[in-house]
Amino acid sequence: MKLTWYGHSAFAVETGANKILIDPFLTGNPSWGKGWEEVADGVTHVLLTHGHNDHFGDTISILKQTGAMLVANAEISDYVAGQGIENVNPGNHGGTLDCGGFTVTLVNALHSSAFTLENGSNIYLGNPAGLVLHFPDDKTLYHMGDTDIFGDMALINELHQPRIGIVPIGDRFTMGGAVAALACQRYFDFETVIPCHYGTFPIIDETADKFVEGMKGAKAQVKVARVGAAFEV
């Protein structure tokens, strides 16, 4: 499985015939700064954890160009369908969605979710979620979305046994690095953890240092990704 981080919470996951984009905030993302067109090449699925602009990002443009399947909660799916997109696969917390070649289960996340229009008004886009991706080779990836630590992470581990974790660490809007490290070690048996949601804006933590420090001695390998550089997990 090949992953590429595009800064913030945006990732590409490539495995088999599928190229999956999660939270494709590309245009306007200062960590990336190269637009969405190149990243969208060959995309088969777009997955969204919630509706904030810095996660929803270029979803509509990518879906229109590629015909990829949107996988998201019911409210986001309805909103996107209203923009003329037909290939939507809606779900909600606890539900598992067949995406062709893999499944996605929506799980809890402690956050909020609305899309801000150019006039400053907000569109409610349902509850935020984490995404658990199950693949046929038994590799399971958990993108936590934007969240704080919560005790029922233990149930997510019990039910899904994710081996790859994508973890928000930037503080202010999500867990900070030390708390994210606690969550990973207390509730999960990850083999690999990839920190995200940092370094994008000055208002959140600029580096992954606090998370790396908190993960010292942990069994999981911490992969601090470089923006735009693909890596295998």
Tokens at residue 149, please? 């630590």
Query: What does pLDDT average to over the chain?
Result: 98
- List phi, psi (to 5°) of 104: -130, 130
Cβ within 8 Å of residue 155, ≥6 positions away: none
Q: Which domain holds residue 183?
A: 2-232
Which is it for strands 103-108 and 96-98: parallel, antiparallel or unpaired?
antiparallel
Residue 127: the pLDDT is 98
Q: Which of 71, 156, 73 is nearest to 107 (CA)?
A: 156
- CA angle (173 as vertex; 168, 174 as ends), nearest 5: 30
162: domain CATH number is 3.60.15.10
**Per-residue pLDDT averaged across 141-153, rounded?**
98
Q: What is the number of domains present in the chain?
A: 1
**Does 113 have pLDDT greater than 90?**
yes
The DSSP H or E segment spanning 210 is helix 209-214
Residue 137: the pLDDT is 85
Mind listing the pLDDT tens digit for each residue in 31-89?
999 999 999 999 999 999 999 999 999 999 999 999 999 999 999 999 999 999 999 99
Quote the CA–CA distance of 101 and 156 in Å, as a whole number: 22
Percent of the residues in the chain that have a pLDDT greater than 90, as a whole number: 99
Residue 110: the pLDDT is 98
